[in-house]
Amino acid sequence: MKRIARWSILWMVLLGVFAWSAVAFAEIPLVSDNIVADIVEKVSPAIVNIDTLRTEVYRSPLAPFFNDPFFRYFFGDSPESQERRVPVKGLGTGFVFRSDGYILTNNHVIEGAEEIKVTFKDGQQFDGKVVGRDPLTDIAVVKIEANNLPTIPLGDSDTARVGEFVIAIGNPYGLSHTVTTGVLSAKGRPISAGDSGREYENFLQTDAAINPGNSGGPLLNLKGEVIGINTAILPYAQGIGFAIPINMAKAILDQLISKGKVTRAWLGVYIQEITPEIAEKFGLEKAQGALVADISPDSPAERAGLMRGDVVLKIDGQEVKNVSDLQQKVRSHRPGDKITVEIWRDKKTVVLEVTLDELKEESTEIPAEMAVTLGVEVREITPDLVNQYALKRTSGVVIVGIDSGGPADQAGLRPGDVVLELNRKKITSLGDWEEVLSRIQPGETVLLLIDRGGRTYFVPLRAEKR
């Protein structure tokens, strides 16, 4: 009887486990064999091809000679002989997000367009008009005169997970409504996109095939929601495409529609990343924050007392992790807002109150690829060197030579860069440079402040044994 009782208990336990497993597996959504096809069929009516036309003026390379009477005698002097206007066609993709004719696409798709044609999958064609665009995020809204249009729901790119399946639909090379699939490869990528080479931040990366013409099309999750706007590819790379997070677009849509542009707050600092070398020289415990490399004249930062060399640690009590984080925190405010900025100055914290202005410039980031080692020849600035390098400063010492193949050469320092500080000591002459340099040991990290074309940069250098 005891043996039977034990077997009964065992069977009850096993049945319970099987029942729990069945319920658990039932809660896991199974992907239908046709889920991609179902999504594509549902959203395709809301995806459009965008064809643009703009005019470019090509000036004759012989134009400077047209003032010569002898030249005009043979070639004429009509404006047509000096320049000609050439129509240039462009193509891209967009999708309807409001049924009353509002379409999302990329700014670089419609930038400079004199004519915009919007074509639906069923062949319907409309004239499009740009109602708002934002070069900073490469987002634009196009309006067509139509109602009761099919739309695609906008999802939440913040909750999208790396590794989840995604679908890209677009007009690559004019091949309308091409569907590609892949996974979300990464989030938060900074890239250059569009024809301008402008730097954009916080992009989604995917291995779904994206080609020229896909720009402006939707990147969809398996719920059929837009989580990104396809926008760029890396030349010669395979399986690497990028999309603007849809939450970035959602945050500015109202302003684009009502104002035609996005009004952002502006702090007025030029900033660069904190490297371990910079953190060490500034006495920071970790390489976190954003280094103020320069201050815009008559900016909120200047009026509040921020200085070159300050490290921004917090905005309104929230930690600043890096350059991108600082920019996002500032842009989340409106012009006129007052913020508290906690900075690191002379190895102690200082808190300042700043009243933000409206952003006029498109970027406040200084490239962070400036870390170098010593290997430069410098001279005092003379009138000849001012003319030779078109220098905007006459104080400091100017770099006139770079050791070929050395660390400075590899890092990008170049003749014409003016050294203003060495290890936070002001450099006004070659004597200052040699005095400070003489106190530096091989292998020690030093900090240069250089001027290039009127803009200042901090550059950490690791001294080599001569």
The tens digit of pLDDT for each residue in 205-261 reads 999 888 888 889 999 999 999 999 998 766 666 778 899 999 999 989 999 999 998
Residues 137 and 47 in one domain: yes
- Closest to 214 measured CA to CA, from 198, 232, 202, 196: 232
Whole domain around residue 82: which residue ranges?
42-143
The DSSP-derived string for 151-216 is: ---B--TTS--TT-EEEEEE-GGG-TTEEEEEEEEEEEEEEEETTTTEEEEEEEEE-S---TT-TT
Q: Which amino acid belongs to residue 37?
A: A
Q: Is residue 34 part of a domain?
A: no
Residues 48 and 135 in one domain: yes
Q: Is residue 25 part of a domain?
A: no
Say how many CA atoms lie within 13 Å of 354 toward its Cβ: 34
CATH number at residue 97: 2.40.10.10
Q: Is residue 364 part of a domain?
A: no
Which of 95-104, 224-233, 234-243, 339-348 shows the lowest per-residue confidence on average (mean pLDDT)? 234-243
Give the per-residue pLDDT at 201: 62
Residue 4 in this model has a pLDDT that exceeds 90 = no
Report the catalytic residues.
108, 138, 215
CATH number at residue 399: 2.30.42.10
304 in Cβ contact with 337 (< 8 Å): no
The tens digit of pLDDT for each residue in 16-48 reads 555 555 444 444 344 456 899 999 999 999 999
Per-residue pLDDT, averaged over 356-379, amounts to: 57
Give the per-residue pLDDT at 393: 80
The tens digit of pLDDT for each residue in 430-443 reads 777 776 776 666 66
Q: Is residue 272 part of a domain?
A: yes
Q: Is residue 153 part of a domain?
A: no
Give the per-residue pLDDT at 234: 65
State how far the Cα of 244 lies from the Cα of 200, in Å rounded to an integer. Answer: 9
Give the per-residue pLDDT at 368: 35
* Segment (H or E) for 226: strand 226-233
- pLDDT > 70: percent of the chain: 75
Per-residue pLDDT, averaged over 325-332, amounts to: 84
Residue 65 in this model has a pLDDT that exceeds 80 = no
Q: Exposed, middle or buried: residue 67 (CB in 10 Å: 0-12, 13-18, 19+)?
A: exposed
Residues 108 and 185 in one domain: no
Structurally, how many domains does the chain consist of? 4
Domain finish residue from 223, 242, 259: 259
Residues 274 and 323 in one domain: yes
Buried residues in 96-126 as b, exposed as e (16+ CB within 10 A): bbeeebbbbbbbbbbbebeebbbbbeeeeeb
Residues 115 and 56 in one domain: yes
Most confident among 57-61, 199-203, 424-428, 433-437 (mean pLDDT): 424-428
Residues 344 and 253 in one domain: no
Q: Is residue 298 part of a domain?
A: yes
Give the per-residue pLDDT at 195: 39
State how far the Cα of 323 lies from the Cα of 335, in Å rounded to an integer. Answer: 20
State how far the Cα of 88 lies from the Cα of 166, in Å rounded to an integer. Answer: 33
Per-residue pLDDT, averaged over 387-403, amounts to: 81
State how far the Cα of 218 lies from the Cα of 358, in Å rounded to an integer. Answer: 31
Residue 142 in this model has a pLDDT that exceeds 80 = yes
Q: Is residue 206 part of a domain?
A: yes
Residues 98 and 174 in one domain: no
Residue 464 per-residue DSSP state: P
Long-range CB pairs of 442-448, under 8 A, 24+ apart, other chains included: 445/277, 445/280, 445/281, 446/281, 446/374, 446/422, 447/278, 447/281, 447/421, 447/422, 447/423, 448/419, 448/421, 448/422
- Is the model's pTM score more than 0.75? no
Residues 47 and 137 in one domain: yes
Kindly report the number of other CB atoms within 10 A of residue 433's CB atom.
19
Most confident among 229-243, 248-262, 355-369, 448-462 (mean pLDDT): 248-262
Residues 326 and 379 in one domain: no
Residue 190 in this model has a pLDDT that exceeds 80 = no
Buried residues in 371-399 as b, exposed as e (16+ CB within 10 A): bbbbbbebebbeeebeeebebeeeebbbb
Give the per-residue pLDDT at 386: 83
Q: Is residue 430 part of a domain?
A: yes
Q: Which amino acid belongs to residue 239?
A: G
Which of 145-154, 203-212, 281-290, 448-457 shows the lowest per-residue confidence on average (mean pLDDT)? 448-457
